[in-house]
Amino acid sequence: MNNSQFSNSFSFPTQVKFGPGVLSELPSYLLEHNLQRIFIVTDASIRSQDFFNKTLTLLSSSGIQYELFSEIHTNPLKSDVVLGTDKFHKTDSQALIGMGGGAAMDTARSIGLAVNHRRDLFDYCEDCGGDRLITSEIPPLIAIPTTAGTGSEVGRSAVISDDKTKEKRILFHPSLMASQVFCDPEVTRSLPAPIAAATGMDALTHHIEAYLSKGFHPLCDALALEGVYLANQYLEQAVLEKDLESRSQMMACALMGATAFQKGLGLIHSMAHALSAHKDMHHGLANAILLPYGLKYNLSHCEDKFRRLAHVVGIMDYSPGDFIQRIEEIRHRIGIPENLGEHGIDNEDCKVLSKLAFQDVCHQSNPVPVSEEGFFELFRSAL
């Protein structure tokens, strides 16, 4: 069926200031919008960075009051959101800043939702139709990425784990989009190589899965193909050389990826979400390890798209198999482990992981259906 023959709806993201040094414009933006009491959500590792402390100094010197909240987990929990929301109310804050990677921005976005929506947080999840209950005002959100991976800065969703079951739940609504994004590649130059590698592979996975996903969204497909090109050109350089040009290109790649995957993701993300929930594995690292295994599973169902991907990365005969090999080569050169066994995952874990992956919504847009048993075999193949 040719989906281009039917009615479709499209939307693209928000205002973005992009370039070295743009973070210095944050105080003037806040003052222009009469925002003088700010709640900053970040993680503990960011608080020790020079750029972070310089930003706080700029805010203070501009007369802007701020409250810091960094009590968040690597894979944020509902309890993080509850605690942050309580502190937001106590400080009488006007707006939120999410500064960091996906965890900080997902937590900030979820706190913004919870500020004026008083039901249990997961009542608002998309998978149970709770997005229809999101009707009250959301405080302004300013997103400042310090990694080049999730692209959460231009997202309108948040992934939050249940404290007890570890199941990841998705909050989604257009009103959760950031009011303003500041993408300053300078802040990513302090990223250690392993984090740059994992987050860069996360961005690459977003582009590939978005392109392969079901549905019709030519705008997202075009972004995804360009994102794959950028990652192929600049990811290795960004990890190994840390120069501003490559870090800038990967930051652009990341925000493009989060725009592209509004079309959908796939089985790799469902598996990565399971690993993050059950084993607290870094989301980008999980995607990086799993990417070739998921591609091999999907190959026979969308060979034409694989040939297009091969063409984009410069494989002359457009070989689908060579494209997967290229991904494996990039992964190896930037130090990504080849299998899950290197991180202590075993056969027993696969039982729990396959159940969690099957419950995750991302695989519903995979180009071919995956059963719980199929996930089990995929996890075993990746050991």
Tokens of 297: 């599973």
pLDDT digits (tens, 9 = 90+) for 137-171: 999 999 999 998 889 999 888 989 999 887 888 89
156 φ, ψ (degrees, to nearest 5): -125, 25
Give the confidence band of 315 by pLDDT, cuts at 50, 70, 90.
very high
Instruction: Output the pLDDT for position 12.
Output: 60
Q: Give the chain's largest Cα–Cα span.
A: 62
Instruction: Output the pLDDT for position 166.
Output: 79
Per CATH, the number for 193-381 is 1.20.1090.10
Tokens of 164: 């007890």
Per DSSP, what are the bridge partners of residue 16?
181
Name the amino acid, one letter, at 212: L
Domains of the chain, by residue range, sit at: 15-187, 193-381
pLDDT digits (tens, 9 = 90+) for 325-337: 999 999 999 999 9
User: Does 11 have pLDDT greater than 70?
Assistant: no
Give the confidence band of 343 by pLDDT, cuts at 50, 70, 90.
confident
User: 294 near 267, Cβ under 8 Å?
Assistant: yes
For the segment 257-266, the average pLDDT, to the nearest whole number, is 93
Looking at per-residue pLDDT, the higher value among 286 and 13 belongs to: 286
User: 271 near 219, Cβ under 8 Å?
Assistant: no
Instruction: Output the pLDDT for position 8.
Output: 45
Tokens of 196: 């740059």
For the segment 93-104, the average pLDDT, to the nearest whole number, is 94
User: 106 near 99, Cβ under 8 Å?
Assistant: no
Give the confidence band of 5 by pLDDT, cuts at 50, 70, 90.
very low
pLDDT digits (tens, 9 = 90+) for 108-137: 999 999 999 999 999 999 888 899 999 999
Residue 40 Rama label (left phi>0; alpha psi -120 to 50; beta): beta
Per DSSP, what are the bridge partners of residue 125?
171
User: Does 47 have pLDDT greater than 90?
Assistant: no
Task: Tell me the fold of 15-187.
Answer: Rossmann fold (3.40.50)
User: Does 9 have pLDDT greater than 80?
Assistant: no
Tokens of 202: 């996360």
Q: What is the DSSP letter of 263?
A: S
CA 110 centroid distance within chain: 14
- How many Å is the Cα radius of gyration of the chain? 20
Give the confidence band of 6 by pLDDT, cuts at 50, 70, 90.
very low
Instruction: Output the pLDDT for position 167.
Output: 83
State what percent of residues in the chain have pLDDT above 70. Answer: 97
pLDDT digits (tens, 9 = 90+) for 180-230: 999 999 999 888 999 999 999 999 999 999 999 998 999 999 999 999 999
262 φ, ψ (degrees, to nearest 5): -65, -20
Distance (Å, rounded) from C-alpha 109 to C-alpha 172?
10
Exposed e or buried b per residue across 30-51, where buried means at least 16 C-beta atoms within 10 angstroms of its C-beta: beeeebbebbbbbbeebeebeb
User: Does 10 have pLDDT greater than 90?
Assistant: no
Per-chain mean pLDDT for the chain: 92
- Which range is most confident: 102-106, 147-151, 231-235? 231-235
SS3 state of residue 53: helix
User: Does 2 have pLDDT greater than 60?
Assistant: no
User: 98 near 41, Cβ under 8 Å?
Assistant: yes
Question: What is the β-pairing status of strands 168-172 and 157-161?
Answer: antiparallel
How many Cα atoms sit within 13 Å of 181 on the Cβ side? Answer: 25
Instruction: Output the pLDDT for position 44.
Output: 87
Instruction: Output the pLDDT for position 48.
Output: 86
For the segment 44-56, the average pLDDT, to the nearest whole number, is 91
